[in-house]
Amino acid sequence: MASRIRLSPAERREQLLDLGVRLFARRSLDELSVDVLAQEAGISRGLLYHYFGDKLGFREAVVRRAAADLVAQTAPPPSGDPQQRLLHSMAAYLAYVEANYEGYLSLVRGAAGDPVLREVYDEARAALTDRIFESDDAGMLPDTPVVRLLVKGWAAMAEELVLSWMADPAGVTREQLLDLLGNSLPALVASPAAATVG
């Protein structure tokens, strides 16, 4: 009979967070509770409170981990053709939302009314957009105030396109959606206003 491996408190907390993120992929924030995680993990609610403090601490920890996973999984290659790097990142973003739709949607919608979720959402959005200007070969786009404003607006548009497509593709293929996501930003940046205003 194999002996059971005893995890350190930090390892056990990470294991519970991993499980919480997996559950969050298929459930809304309202459905993600300490009770559900305790049942799935086969542990007591008291042990979860020991690791996360309370229900809100657990929820925040899971959402922060999910947001960090989103940022990591959608990272573009650090160098190379800017358009290909953007397309790679957008394909990874779409794949992430497809795999984690319920949780991602509840984070986006919940950020409107919950200050903690708003903070996590804003930090993730900033990480996703700021990296467009950072790479081994001086970024994908010129770093000007106008272009940064365009990128913020484009990111909101991209998010809405993906969530709307997930809710109802309406005859738009995945490839068409990726084409829209990957080509709309360079088109915006190529506009005369973006080129002439610093």
Contact between 71 and 84 under an 8 Å Cβ cutoff? The reply is: no
Q: Mean pLDDT over residues 15-38, rounded?
A: 84
Q: What is the pLDDT of residue 2?
A: 47
- Per-residue pLDDT reduced to its tens digit, 70-92: 999 999 887 788 889 899 999 99
Angle (CA) 181-167-36 rounded to 5° is 115
Query: What interhelical angle do 145-167 and 115-130 show, nearest 10?
Result: 120
Q: What is the pLDDT of residue 1?
A: 46
Structure confidence at residue 189 as a pLDDT band (50, 70, 90): confident
User: Hey, what CATH topology would domain 64-196 get?
Assistant: Tetracycline Repressor; domain 2 (1.10.357)
Cα distance between the two ends of the chain: 69
Residue (of 50, 53, 57, 19) closest to 37 by Cα position? 19
The amino acid that residue 146 corresponds to is: V
